[in-house]
Structure 1
Amino acid sequence: ATEEAFAELVCPITFSLPVDPVTAEDGNGDSVRWARPRPPTGIAMPSKRGCEDAEDETAQELRRTKSATNEAMNEFLCPITFLLFSGDKVDAWKLKLKEDEEVAEMRRKAEAGQGWAMCNLGVWYKHGQKGLAKDFAKAFEWYKKSHEAGDAVGTGGLGRCYLLGNGEVTKCPMRANTLMCQAAERGSKLTCYHLGRSYAEGLWGFPKDETMARRYYSMVASALIEDCTAGAKEGAATWLREHPTT
């Protein structure tokens, strides 16, 4: 019954539940999102017992009222809709709405000049997070703006773009080293970790240098910006324990 009721509401084109205002035959243009929080007369709220019966009655009531007026539809949808409709479809729909709002808010802050917000957009585009498609060019653009706005984490991200190269960005180890050293000195734990690992293992064109590795791995603990994972912190600490000074 739940799947049938969901099918009655879901848009056949976008496969999402309604959000924008809709107009019924009576001309009422109330939005589904603003539905009044009470069920229509005669429909029992789901309970631990008899939940399946309540779902069946609710689905039947929906089929009777869906083509009538928005007045009846509005009373039906909230709060019963989100109590009855659950599962992958609704979860994905709600997650998409949440992520769209987060991205829009982050863009507003970035456009207002917040360097950390620019950096976050760079991270999301780089990894394809928050519903955004992976786009290294856009990630590079936002990291660059973040760096220019004075954000240390953005500076480190820009340095890693030059370090790894991808798409339209050509590898430039010298530029990468300059930017990453700046970010590390300004307190980015993550950049300290990457530099330590680069020197410890001789990665990405860096020479294998235990002294430099120790320097940057040691800075992970004291750096002020908490932008790296617990795993990275533990990795740095483990290397330092295994390579004591002589």
Structure 2
Amino acid sequence: MSTPAPADRCVCCEALRKRLQEAQKDHSTQTKCHKKNPADDLICPITRELPCVPVIAMDGRTYEEEAIKTYFSTQHAKSAPIRSPITNEPMGNALLRAPHIKSLISTLIENDALQGDLAKTWQEKVQEVKEKEAWLEKAHEGFVLAMLKVAEGYSRGVHGFEKDRPKAYRWYQKSHDAGSVKGTARVGEFLVKGLGVQRSFPLGMMYLGQTAKAGSDLAAYLLGHAFAEGKYGMPVNEREAIFWLQKCLGACAHSHMKSVTKVKAKGLLSQLLDEQNHAAGEE
């Protein structure tokens, strides 16, 4: 698919801009039988939102790059031929970057020709993308905090990152290599749970043990949980479980346990202490 010449882009963008402005102007007087809003030409058919990274696919439609790539991956996983998600006609998977579409959207929003929730959501996402790229740049430069931020983004699908556990593990590994206790604890967690990496209880528990002693509340919780329920290759050991659960809920040098995890830790510790007191009373 050939790239439109710059002159063609200008003509195309100007024509689309005029159509959109006319549609916005006449919107209040249009009936239910009004013509299709030209803004639909800018909306990604998959996300139903204005694309932050617009690309043109071989069916001639504009898509959010990540959305259409995910669609292609899904089709490949099914060993199915690539078909347009709109027309269902066969199509290739080549994509053409369309920065002129992003520029057009930006111009329309700045001039109030495009308003409402679509415009607001687009502006928020563009800002999120900028922040994501800034964190990635700092992470590649070797900043440990940025490495942890990027890893968390890929792990949970937040901060503008798509959920990708293998990528998350690699960034946690980089932060571990850079000497981060929090990063090492997360590497241990990923290893014992098999998140984005082949499961390894011995190696994972070694990292969790090291970082729990170094003051990671998350590592201490995972050790307590492991001893309480006999998880991750560890034997059930009530005394060890109580010790590590109390430690994770105390003052830790490296606090990175989520609030929901703290609630679980408190509940599990309370249960173990009740069982311990009950057993002592029977004696």
- Tell me which interval the TM-score lies in, with the shorter structure as reference length: 0.5 to 0.7
| Change in 2 beyond 3 A, CA 1:94/1:198 | farther
Mapped contact 2:52–2:122 kept (Cα < 8 A): no
1:124 aligns with 2:158: no
Partner of 2:208: 180
Partner of 1:106: 135
Partner of 1:16: 50
- Unpaired runs of 5+ residues, structure 1, are 20-72
In structure 1, which of residues 209, 218, 233 is the aligned counterpart of residue 246 of structure 2?
Answer: 218
The structural deviation recorded for 1:191 is 1.9
Deviates more, 1:204-213 or 1:144-153: 204-213
Query: Where in structure 2 are the equivalents of 1:17-96 lying within 5 Å?
Result: 78=110, 80=112, 85-87=115-117, 89-96=118-125
The structural deviation recorded for 1:136 is 2.2
| Change in 2 beyond 3 A, CA 1:229/1:16 | same
Query: Percent identity at matched positions?
Result: 27
1:155 aligns with 2:174: no
Mapped contact 1:118–1:146 kept (Cα < 8 A): yes
- The two structures have a TM-score, normalised by structure 1, of 0.64
Mapped contact 1:124–1:130 kept (Cα < 8 A): yes
Partner of 2:264: 235
The structural deviation recorded for 1:222 is 1.9
Q: Which amino acid aligns with 1:206?
A: M
1:191 aligns with 2:219: yes
Mapped contact 1:100–1:131 kept (Cα < 8 A): yes
Mapped contact 1:10–1:18 kept (Cα < 8 A): no
The structural deviation recorded for 1:126 is 2.0
The structural deviation recorded for 1:187 is 2.2
Partner of 1:243, secondary structure, is helix
Partner of 1:201: 229
Aligned length: 188
**Which string of whole-angstrom CA distances, capped at 9 and with x for unpartnered residues, describes residues 90-111 of structure 1?**
3431232122122112112212
Deviates more, 1:94-103 or 1:126-135: 126-135
- The two structures have a TM-score, normalised by structure 2, of 0.57
Instruction: Point out which structure has higher relative CO (alpha carbons under 8 A, 6+ apart).
Output: 1
Equivalents in 2 of 1:4, 1:18: separation in Å?
Answer: 23
Equivalents in 1 of 2:254, 2:21: separation in Å?
Answer: 48
Partner of 1:132, secondary structure, is coil
Q: Which amino acid aligns with 2:115?
A: F
Equivalents in 1 of 2:244, 2:215: separation in Å?
Answer: 11
Deviates more, 1:229-238 or 1:1-10: 1-10
Q: Which amino acid aligns with 2:231?
A: L
The structural deviation recorded for 1:154 is 0.7
Q: CA RMSD in A?
A: 3.3
